[in-house]
Amino acid sequence: MATAAEPYLTGLTRAGCTKRLNALTATLCGILPAVVLVWIRPARGSVLLLSFLLGLVWANGFEYVYHRSLLHRPKCSLGKGHLLHHATVGTPCEPDHVTFGASPLSVALVFVVNGIPVVLVDIVLRLGIAAGILIAFSIYFIALEEMHWRIHLGGWLPPGLRTAREYHLAHHNTPDARFNVFLPLFDLLLGNLGSDAPLCKRSSKSRLSALLRSAAEITLAYVCVIALSILFRYSFSTLGTRGLDSGSGRVNVRSS
Give residue limits of the domains in the chain. 6-247
Instruction: Reply yes or no on whether the pLDDT at 158 is more than 50.
Output: yes
Determine the average pLDDT of the residues in 114-143: 93
Determine the average pLDDT of the residues in 20-36: 96
Q: What angle do CA 32, 33, 37 make, to 5 degrees?
A: 120
pLDDT band at 227 (very low <50, low <70, confident <90, very high): low
**Distance from C-alpha of 99 to C-alpha of 19, rounded to nearest angstrom:** 6
Q: What is the pLDDT of residue 196?
A: 43
Calculate what percentage of the chain has a pLDDT beyond 70.
Answer: 74
DSSP code of 74? Answer: T
Question: Which amino acid, one-letter code, is at 102?
Answer: A
Q: What is the pLDDT of residue 4?
A: 62
**Distance from C-alpha of 68 to C-alpha of 192, rounded to nearest angstrom:** 10
DSSP code of 126? Answer: T
pLDDT band at 171 (very low <50, low <70, confident <90, very high): very high
The number of angstroms, rounded, from the C-alpha of 68 to the middle of its chain's C-alpha atoms is: 13
Report pTM.
0.77
pLDDT band at 226 (very low <50, low <70, confident <90, very high): low
